[in-house]
Amino acid sequence: MTRSVRRTRRTLQLAGAGAAAVMALSACSSSSDAKDSSGASGNSASPKVSGTVTVFAAASLKESFTTLGKQFEKRHPGTEVSFNFGGSDTLAANITGGAPADVFAAASPKTMAIVTDAKDAVGTPATFVRNRLEIATLPGNPHRVASLEDLTKSGLKVVLCDRTVPCGAAAQKALEAGGVDLTPVSYEQDVKGALTKVELKEADAAVVYRTDVKAAGDKVEGVEFPESAQAVNDYPIALLKNARNTEAAKAFIALVRSAEGQQVLGGAGFLKP
């Protein structure tokens, strides 16, 4: 009788231990299932970035965006960044006219508004840098240009950006702030066109962005002027509604706005937003 009781107790103990083990295994399995159903505890991979991303960008962004494009392609093997640089107003018109593009980076909110008003951008454009003007003169500044007023000297050949593009609109604002009445020998379609006139010695001076003066190196000499503070341009960037490569477009915009992107842009002479 005593032996039978002992055997029964031992059997019950073993059964209890077995049940506990089963419950523990069940709990582990449930925990594992929970992880799997939630994407491995939230560590689900982001969409792979590949293919070509087409970026329409203001001419003044050419050097810095080209650098960022190379960095993007290195960071995302199998991608290619295709750029179309030009006057922001022309690029905006192309976009609203149906030109295929994924990203638009404009040199002013006014030109970006052409795209947003047409409902061709996704969300609200983000300002990623700012830029201000300088006078670009021939190397050595032979005409001793030191101010906007000096651009009105007799015989001095000055070029400006067209009034419809951001650098031209900013130049007009600065001239008005300084009370200077200036008639240029030509209006150029973008800031690179205006700067090239000086580089080729077809003009003595041009009012352009300081980032373009810096990019030109020793081909021109820059002259700062106080009225430029009255005409600082904000640069917005946006994902486009008809983007063919949305994920790559978002990734490129993220790079531009990142600390790495801001370092490149700051090194080119752009101001923080």
Q: Read off the pLDDT of residues 158-210 as tens digits, 9 standing for 90 and up.
A: 999 999 999 999 999 999 999 999 999 999 999 999 999 999 999 999 999 99
pLDDT band at 94 (very low <50, low <70, confident <90, very high): very high
Structural domains in the chain, CATH included, are 51-131+234-267 (3.40.190.10), 133-230 (3.40.190.120)
The overall average pLDDT reported for the chain is 87
- The predicted model gives 42-49 an average pLDDT of 56
pLDDT band at 48 (very low <50, low <70, confident <90, very high): confident
Q: Specify the pLDDT at position 41.
A: 33
Using CA atoms, how far apart are residues 192 and 86, in angstroms rounded to an integer?
8
Using CA atoms, how far apart are residues 89 and 80, in angstroms rounded to an integer?
25
Q: Specify the pLDDT at position 265.
A: 98
Using CA atoms, how far apart are residues 120 and 223, in angstroms rounded to an integer?
38
The backbone torsions φ and ψ at residue 186, rounded to the nearest 5 degrees and listed phi first, read -160, 155
- The predicted model gives 148-152 an average pLDDT of 97
Greater confidence (95 vs 7) lies with 95
Q: What is the pTM of this model?
A: 0.81
Sheet holding 205-209, edge to edge: 186-188, 158-161, 205-209, 133-137, 221-223
Residue with tokens 């008005």: 176
Q: Tell me the per-residue pLDDT of 1-11, one tens digit each, with 9 for 90 and over.
A: 444 434 434 44
Token duo for residue 68: 């960022």
Greater confidence (9 vs 62) lies with 62
Contacts of 146 (CB under 8 A, 6+ apart): 223
Q: Would you call 256 exposed, middle or buried from its count of C-beta atoms within 10 A (0-12, 13-18, 19+)?
A: buried
